[in-house]
Every structure is written in structure tokens, then in C-alpha cells.
Structure 1
Amino acid sequence: MTIDVGTRLTIADALSRLMKDGMPFRFEAYDGSTAGPSADDAPFTLRLLNERGLAYLMTAPGDLGFGRAFVAGDLEADGISLGNPYEAMKLIQSKLTLKVPTPTELLQIVRSLGISNLKPPPPPPEEHLPKWRRVMEGWRHSKARDAEVIHHHYDVSNRFYEMVLGPSMTYTCAVFPSEDATLEEAQFAKYDLVARKLDLKEGDRLLDVGCGWGGMVRHAAEHYGVKAIGVTLSEQQAIWAQDKIKEQGLDHLAEVRFGDYRDVVETGFDAVSSIGLTEHIGVRNYPSYFSFLAGKLKVGGRLLNHCITRRDNTMDTSPGAFIDRYVFPDGELASVGRIVNAVHDNGLEVRHVEDIREHYAMTLKGWNENLEAHWDEALQEVSLGTAKVWGIYMAGSRLAFERNEIGLHHVLGVKVGPDGDAHMPLRPTWVS
């Protein structure tokens, strides 16, 4: 078919040209054009409201441009829960297939939509700086830059996190003992599984790096009589955790510090837990990270590393443009094999590996449902844009875990003595 590049396309026409198998939802644009099923037959409707939204889509095709238009309010959604858009995102991923336009088609689309729209508008205020500008905060994974990116995501509102995460205030994958277990039961089960893998006993000393709101620290102190130190780069997390520790009467055993894990000077711990921190470390820093943690352990001490992983080593370690700008700036993911190598090569012997990928999909489902149930109250704590970010980020992540694009692995290591004694039982004691 010969394409006349001089023929002017509507916005809906231009978008339809990029759909290999048609539009699975209804699309309406501010120029009056539409595409996809009728309003009565469509599962939901996306509505582009203005030229700024079009410019977002044109200057950052893919998840970043869509995210900008959606977060800014330039792209509306009818028939979609903003707090839990899982079903809509699942339909889009399963039914929508984009095609690469030919140079002639691309020229026609750009001419029709306006070359002026190739100038990027300022991003929404919820967006973090691009990577090239973050150097002003320090080199990647320097203490100053890590503190800034953690502040961007975690120092939002403790009340907002309470609504989304639930009473446990746990922002990591739960372990569901059964299909019908509640989120709180599953988070308790996760902490207890970690405690048993670390063989915690009364009087032991635990270091929990990247401790969040102190869930592991409090669990170890309350249920195992462990003396636990947690450290977090989020000041708001540390304040909340210390208040909760005092409320629970655990301040004689538990402590949460506001600071960088690299500033912990104590050594000789019986156990170290790293639950959800490795994602923020940077792949090239794995050797120094695990070497540092190994140095904190006494002989026979155990490390439990719990983190999100890539399916394999062929995948990019970057979490994607939208996640990098709006959720986890500077975050990186690697395969479990790469993590095992790093642990094994830097002072520890790997004794057990477990994949609990499906559990994170279930955890995210619970968080999305919490946000949906508390939507109006959440908007009293954060901007509408921030709440939208959380809705699509959690729903999209749930899909990624379900589709095996990302996983969640436990890697258990031990510091072996010079005589080769690993101080480990012949068979795992934590498996019920």
C-alpha cells in the first residue's frame, strides 16, 4: 500500500497505525477522534485531554511517556480503578501489540501530530531527575546520592504507607503459608522464615541492613529474644520504627538507626539480614557489599539475602524508565546466579537458595487492594499524581512477577571457619 505522507492523520488514526492487532480498549482524543470498540462494548476508555499529553507520548514512547501523561492528568481513564488498575494493565499487556512503523509511516505520523510536539514538556513534579542530572547529588551509589534517592521514594508519608502496607508496615515480599492467608499473616510468616533460616536464638545479635520500618528487627526481638540493630537511609522510617519499638517495650533489645549501612562499626554478629536492599546497591557493587556484610559476621554466622531478581542474565539490569524516574531511582536487578556468585566469592558459602516469586505477586495484590480501599484517605496524605504512580507501579509489578519477568530469591550464606566447619545442620531445619 502506498502511503501519502501529505495525508493528515487524526490522533486516533496515528495511534491505530501503531497497533498490530487493533485497539483492545476505547481511545478518545481532544481533536475529536476515536479508535477501538464503542463506549458500550469497551472494557475501559483512555482519553487524551490535551497537547501536552500528546507531547509526553511522542517524546518518550513507551512506559515513561504513558506514565507522564497519566500522572500529570493529561490522560484520563474511565472504567479503571486508579488504586488497582491490574485488570486493565493485564488486558493491555495481553491484547495490545505494537508494531514498528516504516520510515514513511513515521514521517506521516509526525507531520500529522505536529513536529512541535517533539519538544519535551516539563515532567510532572512526582518525577525524579534523569540519571545524567543525578550526578549533582554524587556518583551513583555514593552515600549522598543513595540517601537522596531513598528519600525520594520512602519519605513520602508514614500514614500513606500504613494504608498501603497494612499494620505490619512491611514493604517487601510476604510468604503466604496458604492461598487464603491474610497479608498480615504472610508478612509474619516471612519474618519468621528469615529468623529460622538465620537460626536465631535468645541472646544472638542481628544486623538488619535496609531495615525499613523495623519489621525484622522487632520480630527478632519480640519472638526470639535477639538483640537487633536495624539501619535505614529513610529518616521517616527510623522515626516510626523507634516509636514502635518503644510502644512494644522492645527498646532494651531493638534499635533502628537513621544512616547508611556502611557506617555500622559493630562486628561479631550472629546473623545479618538484607531484606530488599540489594536492589538499591548496584550490580557492580555486589562484591564490596557482600564482603562488607561477611565482615560483620562471626565464624558460623549466617547471612540471608532477600531481593528481587531478573529471570536470567540476558535481561537488562535496569528496572525500566518509568520505575527509574518515579519509583526506584538508580535501582538495578540481576539474576539469582549473579547474586549467588557474588555471595560465594566474597567471604561466604552459599548453603540454600529459594525462589518465592509467586508470593510477591500475591503481596502486591494485597497492597493494590489496600490502596484502592483507602483511596480517598490516601489523597489527604499524597498528591493525586503520587497515588497514581503507586497504583500502576504495583499492578505492573504484579504482572511482571506473574509472567516470570522478575523473581524474588532468598540466598542463605554462612561464614565458614578456617577448619571448614560451616556450623550448619545436615538438613535444613526451617522447612516444615
Structure 2
Amino acid sequence: MSETTPYGAAHRLLDLVTPFLGASPPVRVRAWDGSTAGPSDAPLLDVRSRRALRHLLWSPGELGLARAYIAGDLDVPGGADALADGLRTVWDGVADRPAPTRPGWRTWVGAFPAALRLGAFGPRPRPPAGEIRLDGERHTRRRDADVIAAHYDLSNAFYALFLDPTMAYSSASYRADDVTLEQAQTAKLDLICDKLGLTEGQTLLDVGCGWGSLALHAAEHRGARGVGITLSAQQHAYVTEQAQRRGLADLVEVRRQDYRALDALDRTADGRGFDAVASIEMGEHVGEENYATYLSVLRHHVRPGGRVLVQQMSRRAGSAPGGGPFIETYIAPDMHMRPLPETLAYVERAGFEILDVEAMREDYVRTVADWQAAYEKRFDEAVALVGEEQARMWRLYLVGGGLAFAQGRMGVDQVLVTRSAA
């Protein structure tokens, strides 16, 4: 059933986009003039301003839609759940249709008067807050530090809004249906320690340690001595404070440095390498051109016979390595994900023996759902900390990321390897 409100801007919007999509979008549209159009039982897309059309005109596709949403010119009323339903409906609707033929010049000419009447033409809108703008060549040490600062140094208080008390910013491991996020993250940390075989007195290097969840857990519950490295000033301060507060300062050291700088340091006090090395959801961020170097650093710093665990996101073959325009503009501009088999080939070429591969995609669906639920409960606090636009950007990120894992467009795996004695 379709809405029957008087013909207005909403109807003109659907008339405008339908020839380009090959069919009407599976949403109900409410325009700035109060008119509505589209199926009454479909998710509601609230086009609050003509400026939303200008975002799309200047940045067609995903990025323009994201900018319009973040700026508040486009909305899906009802919070994160409604936004997720809307994105899922649109994605499923597009995925089920054959690809539309490329619009010819007649389509573009025919659209011009409608776009003009709707006010789509005008100056480029100001980009919303939170876009990461970088200079220089990808994956230089300076640029990587700038990327990390832009994403992770918002404030520790902001991340505490939706992360669990361990401050683990990676997929948890849900071993039962009724466990909490904190229990699932603790289970993930125990799982990693078990796979690495960590016992009292052994040494652990955590490359890209985040807020120190693994190093702190291994020290507190296994008696292991850990060194974590991060480029984030906020994370470095947090781990330092936690190690002191929890009486672990003698067991946990955190360094603020690039992983490539590790080659200039003694591997451990005796120079023989760490007993175990972990790198949790950091390998996606080193870049395709540096991935072999990254693996060589991990191998160089583990003793012969020692174990290395990499937990890393993957993507479906044929999809955007960086996650798409929104992720590449607002979250991780230089990220590179690849299908799992390609990563495993890199790992074997680096001189590792693969011991175990565990898929955790379904765990990430639950992890992000728990993050999203916590974030929505404290959304007003997020606005107070980072502003309305940044808060909306994070809502879109959590919802979109959860959907990507749920639909199998992204995955995450734990890869356990050992360094041969050679």
C-alpha cells in the first residue's frame, strides 16, 4: 500500500531517483514540506532539508548519504534500531534486484527540471564534523600516527560509553546465549591466552594493544609479563594508569611507538624473542603494501617455536578493501581488508606454520549489537562529549558495521601460527 498524501516534494524525490535505480526504493519518504510517498509499511526516510539533495549531488552514493545523515539533513526516525531496519531493507532490496542499466543522456536530461524544482542545485554543503583529512603518502609513520589520533584519541571517556569494563575494542567470544558483553570479552582474552600457552613468567608482546585488555588480563590472571605498543596517546595513558592502579606495573609495560620501530629495540632482555606475540584487529590497518613487513616484525620478535595469534577482519572477495567511502572517510582512511585465504597465503610466505584458524564473524555480530545497545542508552552523553554530528556518525558506524558482519560482507578470524626453529 502507498501513501496518498497530496503530491509534493516526497513524490518528486521518488520520481527523480527511480529511473536511476531501475525501480522505486523500498522506503517511505517524508520530505521537508510534510508530504510523504512510498509504501506505508516501509522504513521511513525523513528528508529534512534540500541540503540533503546537495550532499548527494556533490558526493553521489554512499558518502553523500552518510554526510546527509550525519549532518541531520537526512534521518531515519526511531534511533539505531530503525536505522538498522532501514539500511537492511535498502540493502536487501538492492541485492535482490538485477543491476540497473547505466542511465543514458535522456535520463539525465529528463531529471534536470525535477532536480531544479526540488532545490537540489546549490553550493557544496559543509562536510560534517569528524571527517579524517590526511596529507602525504599512505602508511608513512607520520600518517599512520595521524589516523590513529583521529580515531582513537577522541577521549577514553567516549569509548567507555559502549565498551565493556575490559575496554576491549575487538570481537568478543560468546560461548553461551546468556552471557554479557564483559563475560564474552573475558572469554576472548582467556581464549587467546590459552592458544598462546601463556603461563607465569612468560613474556607477551601485544602489537596494537589498544586499551591494554590482553596485556593486563595476561598479567593479572596468568602471571605473564607483557609489553604493549600503541600509537594512541589516550590508550597509552589509560594502560599506564590501569597497570599502576591494579598493581601490575612490574608486569605490564606500554610503549607509544610504531610497530616498525620495534626492530630497533631488543626483543626481550635476553634478546631471544618473546614467548608469544599477539596482534588483535590491527593487521587491517597496516596497508597491503606493508603487510609482509608487519608479519616479519611479528616473526622477528617471537622466539623460535613461539606462538603468534593474529585476530583480523576480512572482506568478501570483490568488495571494497577499505570498507567503502563512509569507513574510508570517517573511520579508517587507509584500512585494507582482504579475503581470508589471501591473508593465510601471506602468513605462510612469512615463514609461519598455521596451527589453527577460528572464524568469529557470528561473535562480531553479537559484539557490535551489544556495543550498539550500550551506545544508544548513553547517546545523550555521547553528544555532550563529541557533539551531535560526531555522535550520529558513530551511530551510523556501529549500525552499518553490525549489518556488514550479519550479512557476511565482512568477517573476522583468529589465526594461530608458530615460528619454526629455522
What's the TM-score, normalizing by structure 2? 0.89
Which residue is 2:380 aligned to?
Answer: 376
**Structure 1 contact 271–301 (Cα < 8 Å) conserved:** yes
The alpha-carbon deviation at position 21 of structure 1 amounts to 4.5
Which residue is 1:71 aligned to?
Answer: 70
**Residues 228-237 or 344-353, more deviating:** 344-353
For 1:28-427, list aligned pairs within 5 A.
Answer: 28-30=30-32, 33-37=35-39, 41-78=40-77, 80-82=78-80, 85-96=83-94, 99=100, 100-114=102-116, 117=121, 120-129=124-133, 134=134, 136=135, 138-264=136-262, 265-267=265-267, 268-312=273-317, 314-418=318-422
What residue identity is the alignment partner of 1:345? R
Instruction: Give the distance between the partners of 2:126 and 2:34, measured in 1 at CA.
Output: 25
Instruction: Give the distance between the partners of 2:349 and 2:405, measured in 1 at CA.
Output: 28
Q: Secondary structure at the match of 1:379?
A: helix
The alpha-carbon deviation at position 33 of structure 1 amounts to 5.0
The alpha-carbon deviation at position 84 of structure 1 amounts to 7.2
What residue identity is the alignment partner of 1:333? M
Instruction: Give the distance between the partners of 2:203 and 2:312, measured in 1 at CA.
Output: 22
Q: Secondary structure at the match of 1:69?
A: helix
| Per-residue Cα deviation, 1:310-347 (whole angstroms, up to 9, x for no partner) | 133x3332210000001111111011111111111113
The alpha-carbon deviation at position 123 of structure 1 amounts to 1.2
Which residue is 1:27 aligned to?
Answer: 29
Instruction: Give the distance between the partners of 1:244 and 1:368, measured in 2 at CA.
Output: 25
What residue identity is the alignment partner of 1:307? Q
Question: Relative to structure 1, is the Cα distance of residues 326 and 84 closer, same or farther in structure 2, using a 3 angstrom cutoff?
Answer: farther
Instruction: Give the distance between the partners of 2:112 and 2:183, measured in 1 at CA.
Output: 53
Which residue is 2:4 aligned to?
Answer: none
The alpha-carbon deviation at position 36 of structure 1 amounts to 0.9
| Per-residue Cα deviation, 1:221-264 (whole angstroms, up to 9, x for no partner) | 01111100111111011111111111111111012222212223
**Structure 1 contact 207–273 (Cα < 8 Å) conserved:** yes
**Structure 2 contact 204–278 (Cα < 8 Å) conserved:** yes
What residue identity is the alignment partner of 1:199? G
The alpha-carbon deviation at position 292 of structure 1 amounts to 1.3
Question: Relative to structure 1, is the Cα distance of residues 95 and 311 closer, same or farther in structure 2, using a 3 angstrom cutoff?
Answer: closer
Instruction: Give the distance between the partners of 2:198 and 2:303, measured in 1 at CA.
Output: 14
| Per-residue Cα deviation, 1:318-377 (whole angstroms, up to 9, x for no partner) | 210000001111111011111111111113222211111111011000000001111122
The alpha-carbon deviation at position 118 of structure 1 amounts to 7.2
Instruction: Give the distance between the partners of 1:76 and 1:412, measured in 2 at CA.
Output: 43
**Structure 1 contact 84–392 (Cα < 8 Å) conserved:** no
Question: Relative to structure 1, is the Cα distance of residues 110 and 196 closer, same or farther in structure 2, using a 3 angstrom cutoff?
Answer: farther
Q: Secondary structure at the match of 1:262?
A: helix
**Structure 2 contact 129–390 (Cα < 8 Å) conserved:** no
Unaligned segments of structure 2, at least 5 residues: 1-8, 268-272
**Structure 2 contact 53–120 (Cα < 8 Å) conserved:** no
Which residue is 2:3 aligned to?
Answer: none
Report how many residues are paired: 400
| Per-residue Cα deviation, 1:21-44 (whole angstroms, up to 9, x for no partner) | 43433212235653213xxx3454
The alpha-carbon deviation at position 14 of structure 1 amounts to 0.8
Q: Secondary structure at the match of 1:413?
A: strand
Which residue is 1:15 aligned to?
Answer: 17
**Residues 116-125 or 262-271, more deviating:** 116-125
Question: Relative to structure 1, is the Cα distance of residues 11 and 219 closer, same or farther in structure 2, using a 3 angstrom cutoff?
Answer: same
Instruction: Give the distance between the partners of 2:13 and 2:47, measured in 1 at CA.
Output: 9
Instruction: Give the distance between the partners of 2:207 and 2:122, measured in 1 at CA.
Output: 44
Q: Give me the identity figure in percent.
A: 37
| Per-residue Cα deviation, 1:64-92 (whole angstroms, up to 9, x for no partner) | 111000111111332x2148732332222
**Structure 1 contact 167–184 (Cα < 8 Å) conserved:** yes
What residue identity is the alignment partner of 2:344? V
| Per-residue Cα deviation, 1:180-217 (whole angstroms, up to 9, x for no partner) | 21111110111111111111111111110111100011
**Structure 1 contact 287–346 (Cα < 8 Å) conserved:** yes
The alpha-carbon deviation at position 177 of structure 1 amounts to 0.7
Question: Relative to structure 1, is the Cα distance of residues 146 and 93 closer, same or farther in structure 2, using a 3 angstrom cutoff?
Answer: same
**Structure 1 contact 202–226 (Cα < 8 Å) conserved:** yes
Q: Secondary structure at the match of 1:334?
A: coil
Q: Secondary structure at the match of 1:302?
A: strand
Q: Secondary structure at the match of 2:131?
A: coil
**Structure 2 contact 51–120 (Cα < 8 Å) conserved:** no
**Structure 1 contact 10–33 (Cα < 8 Å) conserved:** no
